[in-house]
Amino acid sequence: MGPGELLIIAVLGLVILGPERLPVAIRTVMGWITSAKKLANGISAEMSHELKVQELHQNLKKAEQQGLENLSPELKESVDQLKEAAASVTRQYDETKSELTDEIGQLQQAVKVDEPAEQAPLVSSAPTKPSTQAANAQATNVSQQTNVNQSSAHNENN
């Protein structure tokens, strides 16, 4: 679109919509254009990523067929990238597992008070959100205090 065409569109918009509604209409249209651009960029990035994954997959198949020996530099690079990605995922998994194991241990230490045999523990060994863990620990403490108070009252009555 040239400057002449934009001028004609602006004049028509001003005549049809009027000076009050024209700015709102322009903002609305610009919002649509921005959304369309973001969508197009997202699709383009996703397609690029998928094509790269497809290329890595094909290179890995070629490398497997060649026995991972005497590989071309392109195939070696692809194999190295896949190894790095696998190491990264494994490292993140191990870190998360270690953090969760530590949190579970801390919770078990916090809850390690003699509980009556018939009372089920309120804290499960499954990982939960920190806010849920704190609430469970607090509920356990309240429950234990209630049990102590009930047994004290029972002893006083006897």
Please give the model's pTM, rounded to 2 decimal places.
0.39
- Which tokens go with 146? 């209630």
Residue 15 phi/psi, 5-degree rounding, is -70, -45
Kindly report, residue by residue over 71-128, the tens digit of the pLDDT: 677 777 777 787 788 778 788 888 888 888 888 888 888 777 545 555 555 555 555 4
Q: Mean pLDDT for the chain?
A: 75
**Angstrom distance (rounded) from CA 83 to CA 91:** 12
Q: Which residue has the tokens 């602006």?
A: 10
Q: Terminus-to-terminus CA distance in the chain, angstroms?
A: 96
Look up residue 111 and give its two tokens.
Answer: 């809850």
d(CA 123, CA 134): 10
Rounded Cα distance, 42 and 138, in Å: 45
| Per-residue tokens: 88 | 């990264």
pLDDT confidence of residue 158: 45
More confident position, 135 or 19: 19
pLDDT of residue 134: 55
Tokens of 76: 């070696």
Which own/partner pairs from 147-151 qualify as long-range (CB within 8 Å, at least 24 positions apart)?
147/116, 147/119
- Asked if 60 and 78 count as a contact pair (C-beta separation under 8 A), the reply is yes
Percent of the residues in the chain that have a pLDDT greater than 70, as a whole number: 68
* Radius of gyration over every alpha carbon of the chain, rounded to an integer in angstroms: 33
Tokens coding 6: 């934009």
Predicted pLDDT of residue 36 = 95
Q: Using CA atoms, how far apart are residues 54 and 67, in angstroms rounded to an integer?
A: 20
Q: How many angstroms from the chain centroid is the CA of residue 98?
A: 19
